[in-house]
Amino acid sequence: MPNDASSTPPSASRAPELRPYQTQAVDNVISHFRGSDDPAVVVLPTGSGKSLVIAELARRARGRVLVLAHVRELVEQNHAKYLAYGLEADIFSAGLKRKESARQVVFGSVQSVVNGLDQFADGDFTLLVIDECHRVSLSKAALSTEVADSRANSRRAASTYEKVIARLREARPNLKILGLTATPYRLGEGFIYHRHYHGMVKGPEDAFFRDCVFEQPLRVMVRQGYLAEPKRIDAALAFYDFSRLMPQRDGLFAERDMNAVVQGNRATPQIVADVVERSREREGVMIFAATVAHAEEVLGLLPSAECALVTGATPGPERERLIEAFKSRRLKYLVNVAVLTTGFDAPHVDVIAILRPTESVGLYQQIVGRGLRLSPAKQDCLILDYAGNPWELYAPEIAQARPDADSEPVQVECPECGFANTFWGKRDGDLVIEHHGRRCQGLVGGQQCTFRFRFKVCEQCGGENDIAARACGHCGERLVDPDDKLRDALKLKHAKVLRVSGMELKATTNGRGVPRLKVIYHDEDGETLDEWFGLETPAQQHVFERIFLREHLRAPGSGWRPQSAEQAAAEAERLRAPDFVIGRKTGRHWRVDEKLFDYSGRYRKAEAASGSTENSFTG
């Protein structure tokens, strides 16, 4: 098994020996900044030695370096790794009772630095490093030097990191900015960077961090022996049912909702007893509780002489004392509530008990990562999940929220550039039958591929736009609002609006006996509209694909093209119904004029029907 270069500091008499992936990360960062001033990100799993990467970059930097972290434990940890080179560096952190800023390299807590910005404004800092950068909400526009002076008029207050960056950039506009994280994703916002060096687009075009220049997969770290193997056990007898919890607008679960599940729950004593039983031969147990009240109940069920509780309200000195007792193994169980998910280093931890719902795969990976560092005689880490969390430890992060519990990451090849995208979706065996991807994430000539799996068409120029776009990205014209379309159609005498409750496909013949596919749309009141397609010739199949399949496929871009009406009807499960259909009368017949998909406006959709007539068409 490789040496644990992330947790055992080398002697100050010789430079630390970096692992191959750490060396590659440093080289990639240097190569990027030699040709660009764009902010960059390095993604390394928890326990992979980010501190050594930071130390090596600081050692090789020609100018001054400021390394920021959000907690003093990380400031101290990063500083210690740099000292291992036999070099000296300053610490600027009120929590560590040091405010030094004269040396070439300064390790600081962001809150202390933002309160002492005058000491960092002389323009000689050339590199800013942000540890745990996924915690930082940064706006590319708000941080441009042109906008920085008018920030007082911004719609939101600048974050502490934005204030530091703006001040450093005022003095040095070409400041290099590097972020490091194990989980490059912000809940409710998606990926924090735009491009990935493997040739894909992950985050929005206006992301502050432009490029991920290096990433080391967690699975590879475990396989190569750099991290302990996680062994997950899902509780079979006693568990909490958080399945009905709905996240708030910020993507987080409300404490009152979690308390409603766990407070006084009869499963808690069984769960704690199970944790104790499974941990008898283990060294260190971290328990992640849902709320403070829940944590206190759990604490009362553990062996009193072997446990402690840490929350956000635990005073600093008391917190330090308890954590030190745990790290020195005087305590076996450490219960916490959302405070030890990052910046906590206790390599001997070999049990992670999860008694809370996790809102994202990123948070789940951060929690599990607390137990994956190497330690003498440690073979693996037991992951005990009593909350039914749906996340896979090795699953890729996907920017969009998981649409439902049955969705899983699926690979979808772009029919235009061939890039293998990863989206939320569903499989039938190896066949992808549904996915929720909108645009190809591949890079073509350094730019994002233009192919869209789902789109909104501009009525002025015919250009395809994102389904949430309000203005056309091709001609700039305002895209017609779906509510306006519905309202206008309802005013017309010869128009019919169906709130679609079902779609039916029939292989039949027309009045002349020619084979046709009949698509029938049903609404809640028994009204119908239909459209007909021929599929007997390649030309007809091409028309069907262009005007029907591109919108209706549950897995657009899959390449499925039925060769007959019978085949289309037999595989109708591949297709999705629109939310609304607008029909117009032509002579004695009705024709389908417009179909609205992915609707999120003011009118009620059929599947949300609950007996209410609010916003109905007739009310």
pLDDT tens-digit readout, 257-297: 898 899 888 899 999 999 999 999 999 999 999 999 999 99
Element (H, E) at 422: strand 420-428
What's the pLDDT score for residue 158? 62
Residues in the chain: 619
DSSP E strand boundaries for 12-63: 40-43
For residue range 402-438, what is the model confidence (pLDDT) as tens digits?
Answer: 777 778 888 888 888 888 888 889 988 888 889 999 9
- Whether the Cβ atoms of residue 345 and residue 77 lie closer than 8 Å to each other: yes
Of 36-45, 457-466, 476-485, 585-594, highest mean pLDDT:
36-45
What's the pLDDT score for residue 614? 45
What's the pLDDT score for residue 524? 85
Q: Which of 358-362, 438-442, 457-461 has the lowest mean pLDDT?
A: 358-362
pLDDT bracket for residue 185 (50, 70, 90): confident
The mean predicted confidence, pLDDT, of the chain is: 86
Average pLDDT over residues 526-540: 94
At residue 6, what is the residue type?
Answer: S
Helix 292-301 with 267-278: angle, nearest 10 deg: 60
Residue 274 CA, chain-centre distance (Å), reads 32
User: Comparing 187 with 614, which gets the higher pLDDT?
Assistant: 187
- Whether the Cβ atoms of residue 577 and residue 531 lie closer than 8 Å to each other: no
The pTM for the full model equals 0.73
Coil, strand, or helix at residue 156? coil
Total Cβ atoms within 10 A of residue 574: 19
Burial 492-526 (b: 16+ CB within 10 A, else e): eeebbbbbbbebebbbeeeeeeeebbbbebbbeee
For residue range 53-77, what is the model confidence (pLDDT) as tens digits?
Answer: 999 999 999 899 999 998 888 899 8
- Whether the Cβ atoms of residue 184 and residue 43 lie closer than 8 Å to each other: yes
Q: How far apart are the first and last CA of the chain?
A: 71
**Does residue 152 have a pLDDT over 70?**
no
- Whether the Cβ atoms of residue 331 and residue 348 lie closer than 8 Å to each other: no
The encoded tokens of residue 371 equal: 């137990």
**Does residue 585 have a pLDDT over 60?**
yes
**Does residue 525 have a pLDDT over 90?**
no
pLDDT bracket for residue 177 (50, 70, 90): very high
- Whether the Cβ atoms of residue 516 and residue 508 lie closer than 8 Å to each other: yes
Average pLDDT over residues 103-109: 95
Average pLDDT over residues 514-534: 93
- CA-based nearest residue to 103, from 84, 90, 91, 122: 90
pLDDT bracket for residue 226 (50, 70, 90): very high
208 burial class (0-12, 13-18, 19+ CB within 10 angstroms)?
buried
DSSP string, 175-219: -EEEEEES--EETTTEESEEEETTTEE-S-TT-SEEEEEEE--HH
- CA-based nearest residue to 454, from 442, 469, 443, 474: 469
Which residues is 230 bridged to in the sheet? 381
Average pLDDT over residues 187-212: 86
Q: Which of 84-93, 156-165, 483-492, 577-586 has the lowest mean pLDDT?
A: 156-165
For residue range 115-149, what is the model confidence (pLDDT) as tens digits?
Answer: 999 888 887 899 999 999 988 877 655 455 434 44
- CA-based nearest residue to 231, from 380, 399, 46: 380
Q: Measured between alpha carbons, how far is 521 from 526 in angstroms, rounded to an integer?
A: 10
**Does residue 535 have a pLDDT over 80?**
yes
Residues with Cβ within 8 Å of 611's Cβ and at least 6 positions away in sequence, in order, are none
- CA-based nearest residue to 209, from 450, 29, 25: 29
